[in-house]
Amino acid sequence: MASEIFEHLKKIDENRWRIPKDTKPGMQVDGVVYADEKLLKDIRQDKALEQVANVAFLPGIVNASFAMPDIHWGYGFPIGGVAATDPENGGVVSPGGVGFDINCGVRLVKTNLEYEEIKDKIRELTLNLFHAVPSGVGSKGEIKVSVKEEREIMVKGSRWAVSEGYGVAEDLEATEERGAISGADPDAVSERAYERGKAQSGTLGSGNHFIEVQVIDKIYDGEVADAFGLSEGLIAVMIHSGSRGFGYQVCDDYLKTMGRCLLKYGINVPDRQLAAAPVNSPEAQAYLAAMRAAANYAWNNRQCLMHLTRKAFERTFKKSWQTMGMDLLYDVAHNIAKLEKHKVNGKEKTLCVHRKGATRAFPPGHPELPVQYQKTGQPVIIPGDMGRNSYLLVGTEKAAETFYSTCHGAGRVKSRTAATKAFDSNKLVNDLEAQGIYVMASSRATIAEEAPLAYKDVNDVVRVVHEAGISRRVCRMRPLGVIKG
């Protein structure tokens, strides 16, 4: 079917392609794929395009089933998929449109450190970060919480960490949803999820999660960069993690519930992984309450990780993090479903927006943005791979066409299994070090899984969303020191 979908693609312009809704009987809307000719060659290698078409079957879906240029095959939805449904017209919520790592996301910490003044300490800094931050499968952190505190984290999110001394109030203002989305209900969460989450606050996890020390090497928009306090040669830190085993368990629990909802509510989808329930149903409301608890857990986790990162910098450079200007620029979620107001045919409606491997990209003046970003638009943080670049962009008004969404990263072209077979971890470490990039991981297998060539080139991905106008480049960073999960 993937090749059949490819044959139906219609070119809209240099960076957009349409999957007509008559491609598969039952599609409610078109599919729209953001990609250029080069990226399409990678995209057609798996079944992601078929998944874009399948998402278009969801009841109440509005406008189109969208795919960002980092799209690749996932559970139900493709990773890089965006879909909004209208609760007033039978719109559903689907856990497959959020994913297992609920609120996997990324934050960017700026500094006033210049590359030239710290370049001889990158190896030491990388080692200190590795020792400070627990990483790997099943990793457990020093930040221990009781069941009572875990319940508080599910409601308070990053606010819990700040109240415990793991950050400052300004961090909350620079976090999506100010670090805690409302409507979380700890009672909607299973005991198994509680058990998996209680020892994982302040842990990086495994797979593509990372902490990366970077240097800004190119400015695209000087005015916005100045507003953010960024300039070429400055050091920044990117932190990428999510809700760990807690969020995975929440998703796993509710997939079973949603599977039963297909028959109960007469929902017809071509893939059971798209199991869903009407947004206003008790099953969907329970899932959303648990998902929000997991999202808040993830925001708290990244806040704790930033605290540990600041401490590692203090240990390395013998200065306070405040003296080094280690302020949070922004934190964005990549895997989440949110009720947001958007215009549909000129009328404002509340929609359930699924972003799975996609980043919110609100424009200048959006009422949900904090004061400091009202003029610039929302910071959009796009990590690449550990051998190439990462980017900072801002949201645009044109992104209204994707419900203010853009890409979230480079996107895999090789599965983890294929990458492990194709790449030698020792050679990768040596090759990266020859480029001035120091990499540490809890296992050598992780390094092979995360090889740069296992991913699309993030420079291509970002160019597409920039040229399509759904987000705008501000600056580019290159990696110096990388901690992998």
pLDDT tens by residue, 393-415:
999 999 999 999 999 999 888 88
pLDDT at 362 over 70: yes
CA–CA gap between residue 237 and residue 222 (Å, rounded): 20
Query: Which of 21-30, 152-161, 196-205 has the lowest average pLDDT?
Result: 196-205
CA–CA gap between residue 197 and residue 202 (Å, rounded): 11
pLDDT at 263 over 70: yes
What pLDDT sits at residue 104?
A: 96
Could you give the percent of the chain with pLDDT greater than 90?
85
User: Which residues have C-beta within 8 Å of that of residue 266, sequence separation ≥ 6?
Assistant: none
Taking residues 61-86, report their average pLDDT: 97
Instruction: Residue 125: count other Cβ atoms within 10 Å of its Cβ.
Output: 22
What pLDDT sits at residue 143?
A: 72
Catalytic pick among 209, 240, 334, 408: 408
What pLDDT sits at residue 139?
A: 56
How far the first Cα of the chain sits from its last, in Å, is: 35
pLDDT digits (tens, 9 = 90+) for 33-49: 999 999 999 998 899 99
CA–CA gap between residue 391 and residue 397 (Å, rounded): 19
The two beta strands, 30-34 and 105-114, are: unpaired
Residue 366 designated active-site: no
Q: CA nearest 79: which of 357, 462, 336, 416?
A: 357
pLDDT digits (tens, 9 = 90+) for 120-156: 999 999 999 999 987 755 556 667 777 788 899 999 9
Query: How sure is the predictor about 198, in pLDDT bands with cuts at 50, 70 and 90?
Result: confident
What pLDDT sits at residue 268?
A: 95
Question: What value does the mean pLDDT of the chain take?
Answer: 94
Write a three-state SS string for 377-393.
Answer: CCEEEECCCCCCCEEEE
User: Which residues have C-beta within 8 Å of that of residue 444, sequence separation ≥ 6?
Assistant: 425, 426
pLDDT digits (tens, 9 = 90+) for 330-357: 999 999 999 999 999 999 999 999 999 9
Question: Does residue 325 contact residue 111 with C-beta atoms inside 8 Å?
Answer: yes
pLDDT at 191 over 80: yes
The two beta strands, 405-406 and 438-441, are: unpaired
